[in-house]
């Protein structure tokens, strides 16, 4: 019985390339990974804005050390895709202990006027531009600003949203902590802060505290 | 058009598609006897483009691990204990792998890293798309407000494919390794 031979493959003009699973290349890739990891860890160790690599479990609540770390907190970029009609609920930040407000949450609160915004940046930066109706309360000069701003925050159950330079800034957390110590029960932090608000093209204004 | 606008999903998908088509086309060309092999030219171009893209992707994250940690945490695919470590290591891994690819030194090892990174990124992006989470990619710019879409996954898959081409390419031109090879005494 005649067997039907499959046609011979067409002669290739190009030899095949090297195998991706070459042991030497895999070893080099491991070295490259180890070198990058070691470099990154050492850089982080000596860099002024380095972060703590060890995540410490934080108790819920506000009485937690503020300088612990600025690392992994869910941040304002994440929002559920469903449309909401009420301001989105804030979730507690695992490291600072304060409820955080997303960009969308901050905008909703701004639109409805349901919260008082506190700008924890220095006065000069606040004067340059800030969220409309936000009060300037520079966290590093709390005692200077307190007599001016606190009389406007009589209702201690009113929602307060503190913000500053964004996720790498701790001024808003400092301010939230001090206000909590004074008995304000509904203090939240907008971690995305001024950079995120400005980037989103939301309303801004200039000048001093109204 | 600014660099920031170019480094968004759709232009990068288009770039990936063009490079893949170019590579496929040059594979059908016979190597010329005199001048440079078109396939070598195409793989070299792919290697350099991938390297530059990785370096650009890492640039904005290198000095801001705190911000990047938040972006990594948002993906919700890593245990909390690994998030800071990933935020510190990943940008430098992208940077050094990109540098190796662009310069053509240990580029096959760097291509492996590129493939693994893109596989991991596309997987975690797909998981979040399936979860229905609307989120920022934070891939090229930490301040970018561009949302993750199917294009983002496609972009990473294109880069994965391009990385695999670099990894399995027979020859490369304009690389530090070929220069060292030429300088080596026979």
Rounded to the nearest 10 degrees, the angle between the axes of helix B150-168 and helix B9-28 is 30
pLDDT, residue B122, reads 95
Residues A44 and A98 in one domain: no
Q: Is residue B46 part of a domain?
A: yes
Query: For chain A, what is the domain count?
Result: 2
Closest-CA distance, B136 to chain A, in angstroms, reads 5
Cβ contact, residue pair A72, B72, below 8 Å? yes
- Closest CB to B70: pick one of A41, A55, A75: A75
Q: Is B135 helix (H, G, I), strand (E, B) or coil?
A: coil
Q: Verify whether the Cβ–Cβ distance A39 to B92 is below 8 Å.
A: yes
Q: Which residues of A33-58 are buried (b: 16+ CB within 10 A; e: fewer)?
A: beebbebbeebbeeeeebbebebeeb
pLDDT score of B108:
94
B172, B44 contact by CB (below 8 A): yes
pLDDT of residue A42: 94
Q: What is the pLDDT of residue A85?
A: 39
3-state secondary structure of A99: strand
Specify whether A47 is located in the same domain as A98: no
Position B167 in a domain: yes
**A130 & A30 share domain:** no
- Write out residues in chain A with pLDDT < 70, as ranges: 1-15, 55-97, 167-168, 209-210
- The rounded distance, in Å, linking the Cα atoms of A122 and A141 is 9
pTM, to two decimals? 0.63
Chain B: closest CA distance from residue A147 (Å): 33
Residues A117 and A168 in one domain: yes
| A96 and A45 belong to one structural domain | no
Residue B3 lies in a domain: no
Residue B177, domain extent: 8-27+35-183
Question: Residue B13: inside a domain, yes or no?
Answer: yes
Bridge-based pairing state of the strands A115-119 and A135-136: parallel
pLDDT, position A70:
35
Chain A residue with the nearest C-alpha to that of B62: A40
Residues 6+ apart with CB under 8 A from A189: A93, A96, A98, A99, A100, A101, A161, A162, A163, A172, A173, A176
Closest by Cβ to A72, choosing from B84, B113, B167? B84
Assess if residue B134 is contained within a domain.
yes
Angle at B20 between CA B17 and CA B21, to 5 degrees: 85
In a domain, A86, yes or no: no
Residue A162 located in a structural domain: yes
Size of interface A-B (CB pairs under 8 A): 154
Residues of chain B with pLDDT under 50: none
In a domain, residue B1? The reply is no
Tell me which chain B residues have a C-beta less than 8 angstroms from the C-beta of A46.
none
Residue A85 lies in a domain: no
A171 occurs within a structural domain: yes
Give the closest-approach CA distance of B28 to chain A in angstroms: 9
Q: How many structural domains comprise chain B?
A: 1
Q: Give residue B125's pLDDT.
A: 92
Place of tokens 């993906």: B75
Q: Which chain B residue lies closest to A55 (C-alpha atoms)?
A: B81
Shortest CA gap A142–chain B (Å): 25
Are B97 and A54 an interchain contact pair (Cβ–Cβ within 8 Å)? Answer: no
Q: Write down the pLDDT at residue A168.
A: 60
> A157 and A103, same structural domain?
yes
DSSP string, A161-182: EEE-S-TT--HHHHHHHHHHHT
Of A33, A78, A80, the CB nearest to B74: A78
A126 and A32 in one domain? no
Out of A18, A29, A72, the one facing B112 most closely (by C-beta) is A29
Instruction: Indicate if A115 and A192 belong to the same structural domain.
Output: yes
Residue A115 domain flag: yes
**pLDDT for A71:** 34
Q: What are phi and psi of A80, to 5 degrees?
A: -60, 150
Residues A126 and A188 in one domain: yes
Please indicate, yes or no, whether residues A40 and A130 belong to a single structural domain of this protein.
no
pLDDT at residue A208, rounded to an integer? 75
Domain that holds residue A30: 22-51
**B144 in helix, strand or coil?**
coil
Position B165 scores a pLDDT of 95
What's the pLDDT score for residue B167? 93
């Amino acid at each position: 019985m005649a067997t039907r031979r499959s046609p011979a493959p067409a002669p290739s003009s190009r030899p095949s390339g090297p195998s991706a699973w070459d042991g030497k290349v895999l070893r080099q890739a491991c070295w490259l990974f180890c070198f990058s990891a070691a470099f990154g860890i050492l850089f982080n160790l000596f860099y002024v804005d380095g972060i703590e690599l060890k995540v410490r479990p934080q108790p819920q609540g506000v009485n937690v050390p503020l300088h612990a770390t600025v690392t992994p907190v869910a941040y304002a970029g994440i929002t559920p895709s469903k449309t909401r009609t009420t301001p989105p609920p804030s979730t507690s930040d695992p490291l600072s202990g304060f409820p955080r407000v997303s960009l969308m949450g901050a905008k909703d609160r701004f639109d409805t006027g349901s919260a008082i915004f506190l700008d924890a940046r220095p006065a000069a930066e606040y004067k340059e531009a800030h969220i409309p109706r936000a009060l300037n309360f520079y966290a590093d000069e709390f005692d200077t600003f307190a007599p001016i701003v606190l009389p406007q925050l009589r209702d201690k159950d009113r929602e307060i949203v503190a913000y500053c330079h964004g996720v790498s800034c701790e001024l808003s957390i400092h301010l939230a902590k001090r206000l909590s110590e004074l008995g304000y029960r509904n203090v939240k932090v907008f971690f995305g802060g001024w950079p995120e608000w400005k980037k989103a093209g939301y309303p801004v204004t200039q000048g001093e505290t109204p | 058009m600014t660099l920031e606008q170019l480094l968004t999903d759709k232009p990068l998908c288009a770039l990936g598609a063009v490079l893949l088509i170019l590579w496929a086309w040059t594979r059908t060309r016979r190597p010329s006897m005199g001048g440079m092999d078109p396939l070598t030219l195409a793989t070299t171009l792919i290697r350099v483009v991938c390297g530059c893209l990785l370096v650009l992707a890492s640039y904005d994250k290198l000095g801001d691990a705190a911000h990047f940690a938040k972006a990594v945490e948002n993906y919700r695919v890593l245990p909390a204990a690994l998030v800071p470590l990933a935020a510190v290591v990943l940008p430098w891994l992208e940077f050094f792998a990109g540098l190796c690819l662009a310069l053509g030194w240990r580029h096959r090892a760097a291509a492996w890293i590129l493939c693994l990174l893109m596989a991991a990124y596309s997987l975690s992006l797909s998981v979040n798309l399936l979860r229905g989470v609307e989120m920022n990619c934070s891939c090229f710019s930490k301040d970018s407000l561009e949302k993750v879409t199917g294009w983002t996954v496609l972009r990473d898959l294109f880069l994965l494919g391009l990385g695999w081409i670099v990894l399995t390419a027979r020859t490369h031109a304009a690389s530090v390794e070929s220069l060292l090879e030429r300088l080596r005494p026979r």
